[in-house]
Structure 1
Amino acid sequence: MPDTRPSHRPWSAHRRRSPHRRRLRRRDLLVLAALLGLPVLLDLALVWGPALATVGLSFTSWDGIGAIHGVGPRNYTDLATGYPPFWPAVRHNLLWLGFLALVATPLGLLLAVLLDRGIRFSRLYQSVLYLPVVLSLAVIGFIAQLIFSRDQGALNSLLGRTADPVDWIGDPRLNLWAVLLLTGWRHTGYVLILYLAGLKSVDPTLKEAAALDGAGEAQTFLRVVLPTLRPVHVIVGVVTVIESLRAFDVVYAVNHGRNGLELLSVLATANIIGEAGRIGFGSAIAVVLLAVSLVFIACHLAQEPRRDGPRRPAARGSRP
């Protein structure tokens, strides 16, 4: 007759099999230190180190060759009161952000909704609309020159203004909007792909339940589909802020960020590595740009607990 008594294994075997009680060996600690320590060191050396150095240099006067002299907050006061391109650059960056957030992003969402309906040649439309995302902003700037050039631009030829051409790039009242159109064209394709991926992941049963409750197509989208895309909204918002603050290549390729295309990134570059050689003053501009970025990051982090909601305490005796 077989033995039906439960086999009792040594306590040490249970300890070895339990993943929570396994003691890390020295080799495991070295691997963890390499996998976690190296990225942290690289982040400190390549991101936070230069950022803190920039903050420190913003309170100095240095041309990059001679001695460094501390000037206190004088760079910031000169920036706000005695540097004429500063406030136009701030206004242009905010206008850049507003255009991408209020025009390009809703347009990308609209196109994603249309393509999600399964229209004919949707794959072709996706490829055409996503093509500008593959191109860099510098290439977009050269395309802007080909389109909006005063003498040989394609737009003046299409409008029949070859005899009396419009200076789309040279006119400070028009060049910013011309560049924003091409930047919005690129941003729309990126937003389109993000929202299209989010729409594909929406559970179809949610739409069916809303239809059974008598909700129309517009109500289903606004009250069911759109709240489901909240994680995509966060990603799109972060991408929009990043695109508006790091805009540099396109305006530099058009006219080096002058004559109506001043941006904070262009001013910082012109003062740090340009002919001016005012590293302390350019660092102050970079710190202002960093502070604006941190404001949006803080607003995003402040919304995280509200979005996740309070966690319920675990019941007594239950496992976590």
Structure 2
Amino acid sequence: MLKNTRKTLYLFYFVAPALLLYTVFMLIPTIGGMFYSITDWNGLNRNYNFVGFANFIEAIKEDPDFLNSLWFTLKYVVVMVVLQNALALLLAVFIESRTRFKGFFRTVFFMPNMISVIISAFMWTFVFTTVLPQLAEKTMMTFLDQSWIGDPRFSFFSIVIVSLWNGVGYMMIIYLAGLQGVPQSLKEAAVIDGANPFQQFRHITLPMITHAITICFFLTLNGAFKVFEVVFGLTGGGPGRATQVITMNIYEEAFSNNFRYGYASAKSVILFVIVLIITLIQIRITKRNEVEA
């Protein structure tokens, strides 16, 4: 009994610093935001009034900018979850199939992830506004000479391109770890049975890396819903509000123009509930397939 108690205390001592930081910087602010979501606090005054669910009703029924940003974010999430995981898995399979220069390819594809997202956005702003028009002029590829940032038809694609460039490498590393855990004996048995490379990937490799797929889908889904820096650095939510994501709408409500901190907190709670529900559904589906595999 004494030995188990001592072991538990040792475990608590190791976890305590991280738990303290998580409580101070994550848990308490989250609870505070939920509390302020039912008030009209402006973020500065000590006095505020309780308004119940008025903030939530206003956000859902009377705020078209919030709803538009929500739909734009959902579109971005769907595109990013599909493309980022598909490209990351494709790169991981390509690198794992190489017999030489694996370390080189891993470094090259992962390197963009080491650059700050906001810096990447500024870099790509120069590419979209200066490099591509000149490249189009020199090479006669006129399709490159577009208003990638100023035109709502192309600004969404510019955001997706930069997001993929910055984030695919991280997911690729996770998929690589999963691919390296696939037993070689299963692949050899499939080859003996006459399976082609596509059949090997579909029936052997893919089921064996479902744990990596679960992790990557979870990370991509949450990261896409919380996107801010790339949009802020590239378009600022413009032109107009055409590319405003939900996090930028919340930021604008709380700090930029209106200083309605309570109202912004209510929007944050709505985003939290949406992400929570979708994440639980995603984990349930992927985990079920992982068990079946």
Aligned to 1:253: 233
Aligned to 1:50: 29
Q: Secondary structure at the match of 2:257?
A: coil
Query: How far apart, in 1, do the equivalents of 2:26 and 2:13 lie?
Result: 19
Question: Is 1:270 aligned to 2:252, yes or no?
Answer: yes
Instruction: Give structure 2 stretches of 5+ with no counterpart.
Output: none
Instruction: Give structure 1 stretches of 5+ with no counterpart.
Output: 1-20, 311-320
Q: Secondary structure at the match of 1:173?
A: helix
Contact 2:40–2:261, Cα closer than 8 Å, also in 1: yes
Query: How far apart, in 1, do the equivalents of 2:19 and 2:43 lie?
Result: 29
Query: How far apart, in 2, do the equivalents of 1:208 and 1:77 lie?
Result: 60
Mapping of 1:129-278 within 5 angstroms? 129-149=109-129, 153-160=130-137, 166-259=146-239, 260-278=242-260
Aligned to 1:106: 86
Residue 306 to residue 111, structure 1, CA distance change in 2 (3 Å): closer
Query: How far apart, in 1, do the equivalents of 2:99 and 2:3 lie?
Result: 57
The residue type equivalent to 1:92 in the other structure is F
Give CA-to-partner distance per residue, 1:76-111, whole Å, 9 cap, x none: 222123222212211221122111222221122112
In percent, how many aligned pairs have the same letter?
Answer: 26
Question: Is 1:124 aligned to 2:101, yes or no?
Answer: no
Q: Secondary structure at the match of 1:69?
A: coil
Query: How far apart, in 2, do the equivalents of 1:229 and 1:75 lie?
Result: 43
Cα offset, 1:300, TM superposition:
4.7
How many residues are matched?
A: 286
Query: How far apart, in 1, do the equivalents of 2:8 and 2:148 lie?
Result: 61
The residue type equivalent to 1:70 in the other structure is F
Query: How far apart, in 1, do the equivalents of 2:8 and 2:182 lie?
Result: 41
Query: How far apart, in 2, do the equivalents of 1:43 and 1:276 lie?
Result: 30
Q: 1:92 aligns with which of 62, 65, 72?
A: 72
Higher relative contact order (CA 8 A, sep 6+): 2
The residue type equivalent to 1:156 in the other structure is P
The residue type equivalent to 2:122 in the other structure is F
TM-score by length of 2: 0.87
CA RMSD across the alignment: 2.7
Q: Secondary structure at the match of 2:146?
A: coil
Aligned to 2:44: 65
Residue 40 to residue 121, structure 1, CA distance change in 2 (3 Å): closer
Question: Which structure: larger Rg?
Answer: 1
